Structure formats: structure tokens, C-alpha cells
């Protein structure tokens, strides 16, 4: 489904029209955050793991070329065929070429945000290959012609009644059935048929182990394994950032991935594929698609430490209350802004953030998300491409705030206005800020004025200090 | 050539050089009693079950399943089944219970490491076996329980040359994709029991 080009604020406004739904969405995600907190809290070494996870990823990224070459060499030793793709289009061409060579008509896919990023499904469908997403949430949104609204729980925006309606329509479940267990059983039966009749399987990759020439794929449903272990042909697509040096590094990340995502101690299946099954073929497509470019900026590059647990989405007050479809890119939420802001034609997504920093605190590999998002704003300002007309008024705001006289006069006028004018008159001037807020009661004086009057000795000292130290 | 283009692009990376951290010291040492009790608790949190009674209990269980007409595939020596592996992995879709040996069990999360070598019978091998069965019965040696994933990887170590596939399995397959309601039994096994021997 094509996304409409609109700013985050505009799209969020649409999502926010149904307030009870917003509350329901926010609460569902907060439950995940709470489960994550319990799981993280149960490990005394949690903070040590985060520090190690961050260091492992930073080390790997700083030697990425070497590790990719080691990984490829070890894969080749195992008979795995390795392909390199500069961008999404090349990835799709490679996949199509392999599938065509094997006369594949039906491909079962397990969840992969990378293939979403490359828009693989419509491409293959356009070439006559049927693509079946097999993760339950992914299948739901595929049947509903929607992209994922979350990277771990892709159908989090849908209510069970809506899924029931969809399944009634597409899978023939009884009308009005909305019990999650019954709906899941129906999907199991439907997808079992797909697995048994597929000609090839494709999965994403959670970790690519350089020392072993192996990929690790994590799922709870077993869809990656039901896919990859039946047909002769298996394909795995990975971003260049998925490399880990060895199995010990993988252990550190595996201990945190599921705990930080859903609060489980580990996903049901953590599968290591290190060669084709007897008589089969295994292919790995390594994709750059803008990642090496991000690494040319050392702040943006840290976003590639991400292991896609989705923890930052679950904690983000903006994501929880604006939904996954308000962002102009494939991956929503804080990590989406960090890695995908360039996809957003409106340049507005870095402002879908309060800079509260909660995301950075829950991140298992310490991706400095708030810092990256702030940096994204700066990059837009430097390129002269700020959104919402910020480019025209922000320089004025800057000049206003940089001048002590202007600022003091302006703030005094505002205090007087707040004190004597009716708020109904002033509120329209507060713009979006005042939409869901009351105007503040004006204090009698500025803080500086108060300080001058009550603690003049501090004022003198601090001025001296700041002059002395700066 | 895209490989060279990507490697060249990475040479212009701005990422500062960071040393690989030391990973050997992290993790816990636990007594056998603690290992078994944590394994039982954590297996329960992932919706699996630790069954008492060892190999004898397992044999009695599979006998009774077969008596009920269930299809039992056993890849564990000494535990009889009524189904053999065949050349077609698809044919295993009728297996009600698969009995499979695990190499080790991880106390911190209830995961059992199953390798390709265990998923074979004579000339036949089927990576699909632990996934396609309706129910999974795993068997692990009591002295092969480790405290955490660090120790698990320590035991697995540098992978054996012949290993092309291995999987940590923690409980039966599950999903919470519909309104966050946990449903056990997604695409893989709908139940999982572990027997220690």
C-alpha cells in the first residue's frame, strides 16, 4: 500500500481522532514495556549486558568490511551462495533471478523488515510470484493490504474483532468470531497449507555470525523454520549491520533481544542456518541500501547498533499515541526516525519526538536515539530543509532568544498579557501547543527578576563564574 | 561489482575504532539443584513442561500414545515409535508426537539446543522434524544443563564441521499477534515436554 505524503503531525491527527482507540493502542504497548522491565530487572547483569552489547556492535561496525569478508568466506566454505546488493532494487533483482532459476511460483516469507524496506513483495508479485507472509501478524496485514505498523508486533493497531472480520472475509472463519485462539488456529491451518505447497522460503536475519558462516533467525511462531526446512531452496536477506563476530557475541544479544522486545527470556526458536539441507540450496543476500552512507556520519552510524527488538517503540510516548502509520517511513518510532528519516519526504519525522530520552534508556545496545533524532533536526537545518515552515520562523526565534533585551521585553509583555487578558483571546496564539493544554498562570516576575530581588549575591557569583569558566 | 562497491564505501566510515570486549567472565555458576530448579521454572514461563521420571516415564508415555493410535516419531535410542523418517520432509505433516534428543538445556530460559545430527535416522535426515510435529518431546542429559546462554555457547564452542543446522527451542510455538493475547501453538509444535535423563 502506498503511503500518503503527509507530515507526522498531520497523519497523527487522523490517528488521534478516535481517542479511545489511541488509549487502547498506547496501553497495549505499555504492557510490553512493563513486561520488558520485569524481564530486564530479573537479570542482575542487565546493565553489564547492555554495555557489552553496545561495545560488540560498535567494534563490529568499526571493522565491518573485514567481518563481512570473513563471513562470506566462511559461508562459501559451507556451500552457501552469497550475493551482495547495493540497494533494494538490486536485492530484489537478485532474489527474482534465483527464484526464476528454480521456477518458483510460491514463496513463503518470514518476517523481515529488510524486505519491507526493499519493497520486495510487490516486485515479486509483479513478476508473477506469489508471496505469502507467514508470521501471523504479517499475514493479517498482508491480507488487509497494509504495511507493518510495528517492527515486532506488526498488527498491533488492529482489534481482534477487525481481525475476525478480515479472516471471515479471506479465510472463511465463522462470522463474528474474534477469539484470538480460534483465529490463530484458523491461521495455522491456512498457513500450514502454504508451507506444504511452497517452492521456496525466504527469511530475514537477526544475526550473521562471521566466525561460523551462519545466520541466526529468531521467531516465536516457528514460521521461519516451517518455511526454510521444507522446500529445497532457502534464501536469507540481511543488512550489512547484522554481522556479529562470533557465537559468544550472539549469546550476549540473544539474552537481551526477546527480553527487551516482549519480556520473554528468549524467543521460542533461535535457529542457526549454516548450509543447505541435503539436496537443497541456501542463498544469503547481503544488502547495503544506505547503511554504509549512514556510517559516514558517526552519530547516525550508531543507529546501526540496533537489533530490532522494538523496545524503543513500546516506550515512546509519541509512537504509542500516534501509531505506526504516522511516520513517513517503513520503520516507525524512534529507531525508524534514526534509520529512516531520509525516506520521509516531508522531513517532519525527527519532530515526532519530545527528546524525552526514554528510548535510549531502554535500548539493549545503547543506541543514542534521542541524540540521533536531534542530530537529524540539525542536518535538516544545515541543509536548509526544515519542515512546517520552521526554516522561515526559526531564524527569527533564534535572534529573539539570543538577544537579552528582546527576550526580556518580550517575556514581560507575555506575562502582562497572561495576567490581564482573557485566555480565550490568547489561546489561538499558542498554536498546536495550546490545543490540548491550558495556558499557564503568569508568574509575577521573571526568574532573573526574582533572583535579583531575593538572592542578589547568587546572581553576581554565577555571572562571574560563568564568565570565568567559559 | 556491488561487493567491492560496498567494501569501498565502508572504507569511508566515520565509526571510531572500538576494541572487542572480553566476554568470558560474564554469567553465573550454579549447583545442579539450582540448575534443575531454574530450568523447570523458566521452561514453564515459555509454556513448556519439565516431566519427571526420565526415560522410563517417556517410554510409558509414548507406549500409551501409540496405543491411542497417535503417530509417534522417535529419534531417541531406546524409545520406540511407530513412524520412520522418509526422504520427503513434507510427509512428516502427520506426526502427532516427535521424540527428539537435545544436546543441552539452558536454565535461564528453558531453551534446548537441538542439532542436525540428532534429526536423523539411518540415511534419512529431516531438519523439519521438531517444527512440523503437533507435539514435541525433548530428551536432555541431566549433566547437560547450563546456567545461561554464555555457557551454552561455551559448550557449543566452535561449531563442528558437519553442523549445518542447529536450533535453540524454548517451549512450544506461540504468538501474541492478535491483541497481545498469548496463544500457544502457532506454526510449530503446540506443546513441549522435556525429560531429563
Task: Give dist(CA A311, CA A358) in Å, integer.
Answer: 10
- Which residues neighbour A255 within 8 Å (Cβ) at sequence distance 6 or greater? A43, A49, A266, B108, B148, B149, B150
Q: Where does A127-198 have alpha helices with state H?
A: 136-143, 160-171, 180-197
Q: Which of A69, A78, A286 lies at the smallest CB-CB distance from B164?
A: A78
CA B9 – CA A286 distance, rounded (Å): 14
Which of A293, A311, A341 is the last residue in one of the domains?
A293
A440 inside domain: yes
DSSP state of A209: E
Within a domain: A65: yes
| Residue A402 included in any domain | no
Do residue A268 and residue B188 have CB atoms under 8 angstroms apart? yes
Window 13-32 of A, Cβ < 8 Å to B: 28, 31-32
Domain-terminating residue out of A253, A272, A293: A293
Contacts of A92 in chain B (CB under 8 A): none
Q: Does A220 touch chain B (CB under 8 A)?
A: yes
Cα torsion at A449, A454, A456, A459 (round to 10°)? -60
8 A C-beta contact, residue A78 and residue A283: no
The answer on pLDDT for A467 being more than 60 is no
Instruction: State how far the Cα of A285 lies from the Cα of A84, in Å rounded to an integer.
Output: 6
| Residue carrying C-alpha cell 526477546 | A258
- Provide the shortest C-alpha distance from residue B163 to chain A (in Å): 7
Residues 6+ apart with CB under 8 A from B193: B48, B49, B50, B51, B135, B136, B137, B138
Instruction: Say whether pLDDT at A236 is over 70.
Output: yes
For the segment B87-113, what is each residue's pLDDT rounded down to a tens digit?
899 999 999 999 999 999 999 999 999
A-facing residues of B in 72-91 (CB < 8 A) are 89-90
Residue A441: predicted pLDDT: 86
Residue A149 vs residue A456, higher pLDDT: A149
Using alpha carbons only, how large is chain B's radius of gyration in Å? 20
Domains, in order of start, for chain B: 28-196 (3.40.50.10420)
Q: Which of B19, B94, B132, B179 to mutate to test the interface with A (most CBs of A within 10 A)?
A: B179
Mark yes or no for CB contact A270/B167 under 8 Å.
yes
What pLDDT is stored for residue A466 in this prediction?
46
Q: Is residue A320 part of a domain?
A: no
Q: Does A418 touch chain B (CB under 8 A)?
A: no
The cell for A427 is: 489561546
Q: Return d(Cα A37, Cα A27) in angstroms, integer.
A: 15
Residue B148: exposure state from Cβ atoms within 10 A (0-12, 13-18, ≥19): buried
C-alpha dihedral, A112 to A116 to A122 to A127, nearest 10°: -50
What pLDDT is attached to residue A227? 98
Which of A321, A312, A318, A304 shows the shortest CA–CA distance to A348?
A: A318
Given CB atoms, is B150 within the 8 Å cutoff of chain A?
Answer: yes
C-beta contacts of A409-412 below 8 A and 24+ residues apart:
A411/A446, A412/A446
Q: Would you call A134 an interface residue with chain B, using a CB distance cutoff of 8 Å?
A: yes
| Phi, psi of A135, deg, nearest 5 | -65, 135
Task: Give the pLDDT score at A62.
Answer: 97
Q: Where residue A389 falls among pLDDT bands split at 50, 70, 90?
A: confident
Chain B residues touching A84 at Cβ < 8 A: 1-3, 6
Is the Cβ pair B150, A252 closer than 8 Å?
yes
Q: Is residue A404 part of a domain?
A: no
Model pLDDT for residues A156-215, shown as the tens digit of each residue: 999 999 999 999 999 999 999 999 999 999 999 999 999 999 999 999 999 999 999 999
Residue A220's closest CA among A333, A106, A312, A134? A134
Nearest partner of A333 among A21, A38, A32, judged by Cα: A32
pLDDT of residue B141: 97
Nearest chain A alpha carbon to B18: A59
Over residues B123-149, the pLDDT tens digits come to 888 999 999 999 999 999 999 999 999
Q: Is B154 helix (H, G, I), strand (E, B) or coil?
A: helix
Say how many domains are in chain A: 2
**CA pair distance B157, B171, nearest whole angstrom:** 24
- Lowest-pLDDT range of A19-28, A56-65, A221-230, A412-421: A412-421
Whole-number Å distance between alpha carbons of A321 and A29? 10
Cβ–Cβ gap A225/B188 under 8 Å: yes
The mean per-residue pLDDT over the stretch A395-401 comes to 88
Return the beta strands (E) in chain B as ranges: 49-51, 72-74, 97-101, 104-106, 111-115, 120-121, 124-125, 135-140, 145-146, 165-169, 174-175, 183-184, 191-196
Best A251, A275, A282, A367 residue to mutate vs chain B (most B CBs within 10 Å):
A251
Query: d(Cα B110, Cα B194) in Å, to the nearest integer?
Result: 9
Q: Quick check: A233 contacting B, CB < 8 Å?
A: no
- The answer to whether A270 and B168 have CB atoms below 8 angstroms apart is yes
Q: Which chain B residues have a beta carbon less than 8 Å from that of A28?
A: 179-180
pLDDT of residue A388: 82
What's the DSSP call for residue A351? G
Mean local confidence (pLDDT), A386-415: 88
CB A107 within 8 A of CB A130: yes
Give the list of residues 6+ apart from residue B57 with CB closer than 8 angstroms, or none.
B51, B195
pLDDT at A469: 41
A270, A293, A316 - which closes a domain: A293
For residues A329 and A326, give the distance between their C-alpha atoms in angstroms, rounded to a whole number.
9
**From the CA atom positions of chain A, what is the Rg in Å?**
26
Mean pLDDT across A407-435: 85
E strand or H helix at A396, and its extent? helix A390-402
Could you identify the residue written with the cell 546462554? B149
Burial of A279 (0-12, 13-18, 19+ CB in 10 A): exposed
Nearest to A254 among B16, B90, B149 (CB): B149
- Residue A266 confidence (pLDDT) above 80: yes
Q: Within the 250-289 window of chain A, which residues sit less than 8 Å (CB to CB) from chain B?
A: 250-252, 254-255, 262, 264-278, 286, 288
Tell me, what's the pLDDT at A3?
Answer: 58
Whether A146 and chain B come into contact, CB under 8 Å, resolves to: no
E-strand ranges in A190-340 read 200-203, 207-209, 214-219, 233-239, 243-244, 269-273, 281-287
Structural domain includes residue A344: no
- A229 and B128 within 8 Å at the Cβ level: the answer is yes
Residue ranges of A 324-363 with Cβ closer than 8 A to chain B: none
Q: How many alpha carbons lie under 13 Å from residue A223 in its C-beta half-sphere?
A: 30
Residue A468 has pLDDT above 70, yes or no: no
CATH code of the domain covering residue A203:
3.40.50.10420
Q: State which H helix or E strand residue A106 sits in.
A: strand A106-109
Residue B29 binned pLDDT confidence (cut-offs 50, 70, 90): confident
Separation in Å, CA A38 to CA A43, A46, A52, A152, A346: 9, 11, 20, 19, 38
Let me know if residue A389 belongs to a domain: no
The answer to whether A134 and A110 have CB atoms below 8 angstroms apart is yes
Section A426-447 average pLDDT: 83
Mark yes or no for CB contact A160/B181 under 8 Å: yes
Contacts of B45 in chain A (CB under 8 A): 264-265
Instruction: Locate A377 and state its grid cell.
Output: 533536526
Percent of chain A with pLDDT over 90: 81
Computed over every residue of chain A, the mean pLDDT equals 94
The pLDDT-based confidence of A461 (bands split at 50, 70, 90) is low
Q: Percentage of residues in chain A with pLDDT exceeding 70?
A: 97
Grouping H, G, I as helix, E, B as strand and the rest as coil, residue B165 is strand
Which grid cell sits at B141? 542429559
Q: Above 90 in pLDDT, residue A301?
A: yes
pLDDT of residue A328 exceeding 70, the answer is: yes
Which structural domain, as residue segments, surrounds residue A255? Answer: 18-293
pLDDT range class, residue A423, cuts 50, 70, 90: confident
Is a pLDDT exceeding 70 seen at residue B115? yes
| 3-state SS, residue A432 | helix
* Joined grid coordinates for residue A60: 563490529
Residue of B nearest to A266 (CA): B109
A6 in a structural domain: no
Amino acid at each position: 500500500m502506498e503511503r500518503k505524503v503527509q507530515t507526522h503531525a498531520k497523519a497523527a491527527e487522523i490517528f488521534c481522532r478516535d481517542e479511545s482507540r489511541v488509549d487502547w493502542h498506547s496501553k497495549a504497548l505499555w504492557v510490553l514495556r512493563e513486561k520488558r522491565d520485569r524481564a530486564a530487572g530479573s537479570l542482575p547483569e542487565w546493565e553489564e549486558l547492555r554495555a557489552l552489547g553496545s561495545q560488540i556492535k560498535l567494534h563490529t561496525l568499526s571493522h565491518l568490511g573485514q567481518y563481512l569478508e570473513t563471513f562470506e568466506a566462511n559461508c562459501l566454505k559451507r556451500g552457501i551462495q552469497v550475493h551482495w546488493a547495493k540497494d533494494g532494487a538490486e536485492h530484489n533483482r537478485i532474489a527474482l533471478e534465483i527464484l526464476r532459476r528454480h521456477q518458483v511460483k510460491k514463496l513463503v516469507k518470514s518476517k523481515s523488515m529488510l524486505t519491507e524496506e526493499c519493497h520486495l513483495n510487490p516486485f515479486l508479485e509483479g513478476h508473477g510470484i506469489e508471496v505469502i507472509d507467514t508470521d501471523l501478524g504479517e499475514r493479517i496485514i498482508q491480507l488487509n493490504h497494509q504495511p507493518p505498523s510495528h517492527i515486532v508486533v506488526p498488527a498491533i493497531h488492529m482489534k481482534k474483532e477487525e481481525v475476525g472480520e478480515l479472516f471471515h472475509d479471506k479465510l472463511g472463519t465463522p462470522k463474528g468470531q474474534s477469539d484470538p485462539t480460534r483465529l490463530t488456529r484458523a491461521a495455522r491451518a491456512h498457513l500450514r497449507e502454504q508451507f506444504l505447497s511452497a517452492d521456496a522460503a525466504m527469511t530475514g536475519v537477526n544475526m550473521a555470525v562471521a566466525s561460523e558462516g551462519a545466520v541466526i533467525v529468531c521467531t516465536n511462531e516457528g514460521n521461519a523454520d516451517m518455511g526454510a526446512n521444507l522446500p529445497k531452496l532457502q534464501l536469507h536477506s540481511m543488512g550489512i549491520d547484522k554481522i556479529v563476530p562470533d557465537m559468544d557475541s550472539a549469546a550476549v544479544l540473544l539474552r537481551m533481544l526477546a527480553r527487551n522486545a516482549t519480556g520473554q527470556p528468549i524467543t521460542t526458536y533461535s535457529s542457526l542456518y549454516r548450509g543447505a539441507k541435503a539436496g537443497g540450496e541456501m542463498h544469503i543476500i547481503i544488502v547495503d541500501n544506505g547503511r554504509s552512507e549512514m556510517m559516514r556520519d558517526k552519530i547516525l552510524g550508531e543507529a546501526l547498533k540496533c537489533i530490532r527488538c522494538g523496545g524503543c517503540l513500546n516506550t515512546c510516548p509519541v509512537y504509542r499515541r500516534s501509531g505506526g502509520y504516522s511516520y513517513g517511513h517503513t520503520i516507525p518510532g524512534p529507531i525508524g526516525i534514526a534509520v529512516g528519516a531520509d525516506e520521509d519526504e516531508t522531513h517532519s519525522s525527527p519532530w515526532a519526538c519530545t527528546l524525552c530520552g526514554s528510548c535510549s534508556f531502554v535500548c539493549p545496545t545503547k543506541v543514542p536515539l534521542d541524540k540521533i533524532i536531534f542530530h537529524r533536526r540539525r542536518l535538516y537545518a544545515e541543509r536548509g530543509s526544515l519542515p512546517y515552515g520552521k526554516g522561515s520562523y526559526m531564524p527569527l526565534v533564534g535572534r529573539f532568544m539570543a538577544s537579552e533585551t528582546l527576550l526580556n521585553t518580550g517575556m514581560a509583555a507575555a506575562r502582562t498579557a497572561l495576567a490581564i487578558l482573557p485566555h480565550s483571546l490568547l489561546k489561538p496564539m499558542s498554536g498546536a501547543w495550546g490545543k490540548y493544554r491550558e495556558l499557564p498562570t503568569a508568574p509575577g516576575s521573571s526568574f532573573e527578576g526574582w533572583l535579583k530581588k531575593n538572592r542578589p549575591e547568587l546572581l553576581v557569583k554565577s555571572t562571574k563564574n560563568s564568565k570565568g569558566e567559559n | 561489482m556491488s561487493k567491492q562497491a560496498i567494501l569501498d564505501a565502508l572504507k569511508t566510515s566515520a565509526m571510531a575504532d572500538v576494541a572487542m570486549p572480553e566476554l568470558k567472565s560474564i554469567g553465573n555458576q550454579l549447583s545442579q539443584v539450582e540448575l534443575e530448579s531454574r530450568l523447570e521454572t523458566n521452561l514453564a514461563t515459555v509454556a513448556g513442561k519439565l516431566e519427571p521420571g526420565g526415560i522410563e516415564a517417556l517410554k510409558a508415555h509414548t507406549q500409551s500414545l501409540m496405543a491411542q493410535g497417535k503417530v509417534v516419531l522417535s529419534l531417541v535410542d531406546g524409545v520406540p515409535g511407530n513412524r520412520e523418517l522418509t526422504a520427503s520432509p513434507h510427509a512428516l505433516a502427520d506426526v502427532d508426537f516427535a521424540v527428539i534428543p537435545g544436546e543441552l538445556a539452558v536454565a535461564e530460559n528453558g531453551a534446548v539446543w537441538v542439532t542436525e545430527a540428532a534429526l536423523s535416522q539411518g540415511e534419512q535426515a529431516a531438519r523439519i522434524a521438531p517444527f512440523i510435529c503437533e507435539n514435541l518431546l525433548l530428551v536432555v542429559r541431566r549433566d547437560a544443563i547450563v546456567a545461561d546462554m554464555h555457557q551454552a555457547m561455551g559448550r557449543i564452542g566452535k561449531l563442528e564441521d558437519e553442523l549445518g543446522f542447529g536450533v535453540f527451542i524454548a517451549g512450544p510455538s506461540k504468538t501474541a499477534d492478535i491483541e497481545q493475547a498469548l496463544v500457544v501453538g502457532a506454526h510449530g509444535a503446540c506443546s513441549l515436554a522435556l525429560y531429563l535423563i
